[in-house]
Amino acid sequence: MHHPSIFSDVHPDLIVAGFTIVLALVQILWAAAARTNELGLKWNAGPRDGEVAPPGVAAGRLIRAQINLMETLPLFLGAVALVHLADKQGELSMWGTHLFLLGRVIYLPLYRFGVTGLRTAAWMLSLVGLGMTLYALFT
């Protein structure tokens, strides 16, 4: 007996967009956990009033990586939505969405552990993916 996948009727672009949102949640939680590790549960549960020490190296990197994703996430999700609203999804958008997510997944640990150069290449890969997804709208 064949059981259809929950994704069987969903285009890969939309599945990748969903996993990109999952990645965003992971980044939010990882950065928050790193900051809580530095400042304690009392700080996390409190009103966070007053002066707070700047983030340490690990938390700072995770916070900056999170901010970086949040800068491009609306553009990526908007491009995916527009491609699907215009019924332009296909090979180009599929490869573009996958490259965007792949670049972002690779980028996160590279940033966390301070790997330069490759981190920039991963960011550029995600940007190429975003560009491909958006280009699919116009072709």
Q: What is the pLDDT along the chain (139 residues), one digit of tens a residue?
A: 555 566 678 899 999 999 999 999 999 999 999 999 999 898 888 888 888 889 999 999 999 999 999 999 999 999 999 999 999 999 999 999 999 999 999 999 999 999 999 999 999 999 999 999 999 999 9
Q: Hey, what domains does the chain have and what are their CATH numbers?
A: 17-43+54-137 (1.20.120.550)
Q: Is the pTM of this model over 0.85?
A: yes
The residue among 122, 9, 13 whose CA lies nearest residue 76 is 13
Four-CA torsion 87, 88, 90, 93, nearest 10 degrees: -120
Give the DSSP letter of residue 46: S
- DSSP-derived letter for residue 83 is H
Cα separation of 21 and 16, whole Å? 9
Query: What letter would DSSP give residue 114?
Result: T
Residue 2: the pLDDT is 54
- Residues belonging to the chain: 139
